[in-house]
Structure 1
Amino acid sequence: MYDFLSYRPITEDDAKLLLDWRTAPHIAQYMLTEVAYDLDRQKAWIARCNARDDYQHAIIRIEDGDVGYASITVTDPRNGVGEIGVYIGDADAPKALTAYNFVGTLNHAFFTMGLHKLVNHVIAWNDRTARAQAFNGYRHVGVLKDHVLKDGVRHDLHIFEQSAAEWAEFRKKFRDDRNWWGKPTVYRG
């Protein structure tokens, strides 16, 4: 259904693109960490990420153009818990499409990687991402008060969660069962 949306693997050749996105003000303001603009460090980070078995990431593409980044981190392998990160680096990308970027990532996390649950953290002032979490079936489960120190100020961190079974039911509204690589996924509950 969403043929305009696809993903591709990340290589070290993507270092400048990712670093430009990650340090752009429209992205950096919502991130919990700060990244120095250092191309060699970015290449090394990509190499380390690509070697990990508890981390997968991809470039998000809309209509064959690179527009964003998605990652899945396994935070608790024993219990099958992970966290996703998604951002649109291209400030000119169609904003209406960004909520759908989660669909392939959720399919990939739950039905390709086999995770049981995702738990995401969203900084308090990131209303757009908080709304996208709800749009994609996440439950708001709490707030960590004064949890993040950013630019010398403490901020609340909102926590959202969703299980594979919940996503299997919720994703029916999107009618898209593909993972990052365009392969159909099946819930095996």
Structure 2
Amino acid sequence: MLFRFRRPTVDDAAMLLEWRTDPVITRFMFTDLEHPDVERQRGWIAAMETREDFRHFVIEHEGRPVGYLSYSEIDRLHRRCSTGSYMVTERDRRMLAGYLHSFIMDYAFHTLGMNKVVNYFMEGNDQVIRIQSVLKCRFVGVLEQHVFKHGRFQDVHVFETLRRDYESHPHPFDRETTLAAFDP
């Protein structure tokens, strides 16, 4: 299993825009792009590099771009953040997505120095919501009618993982492997 998490560059703009506007991917995102444009996407990538509260990566598997990962709402005072990720193809979602949790959490806790990861999932994303309990994420609750999308208000399910709880569970990869997969 050879993963690499590399920082996006403006040269990735067209690829990321294609992914981001794919209905299969955007259906569970809180926002939609109103006027998708490669130049606007390049500007967004450049702007994200200057933010202290955001970090993102293109996920590669065996040298092939397969998905996207972001850390948002990075709060260094309270040491918490949120993550978001997606795999582009159904095959990669089935074959690879289950392996990403250790990489995502190890980076949050051991590189970013977070104590808590809080994640939000829109209703209807049932498979991802169910997998949270397998991953030992604690269900916090439901934010009712939290996002307006698809012509109606959508509920959002909230989960959190504390570093101490994550550390107490077995992991399929050693930390050296997971952290080495990330570009600085």
- Using the size of structure 1 for normalisation, the TM-score is 0.87
Counterpart of 1:147? 146
Alignment map for 1:40-189 (pairs within 5 Å): 40-93=39-92, 95-170=94-169, 172-177=170-175, 178-179=177-178, 181-182=180-181
Query: What amino acid is the match of 1:159?
Result: V
Distance 1:60 1:101 in 2: 10
Equivalent position to 1:28, from 22, 26, 29: 26
Distance 2:93 2:125 in 1: 18
Q: Is it true that 1:11 corresponds to 2:13 in the alignment?
A: no
| 1:107-135 superposed Cα distances (whole Å, 9 cap, x missing partner) | 11111010110111100100122133223
Kept in 2: contact 1:22–1:89 (CA 8 A):
no
Kept in 1: contact 2:54–2:70 (CA 8 A):
yes
% of aligned pairs identical?
A: 33
Unaligned 5+ residue runs, structure 2? none
Q: SS of 1:52's equivalent?
A: coil
Kept in 2: contact 1:71–1:85 (CA 8 A):
yes
Unaligned 5+ residue runs, structure 1? 184-189
Query: What amino acid is the match of 1:174?
Result: P
* CA positional deviation for 1:95: 1.2
| 1:8-59 superposed Cα distances (whole Å, 9 cap, x missing partner) | 2211101111110010011010100001321111111100111212211111
Distance 2:163 2:28 in 1: 26
Q: SS of 1:51's equivalent?
A: coil
Distance 2:171 2:105 in 1: 14
Which moved further from structure 2: 96-105 or 114-123?
96-105
Query: Runs of 4 or more off by more than 3 Å in structure 1?
Result: 178-181
Distance 2:93 2:129 in 1: 18
RMSD: 1.7
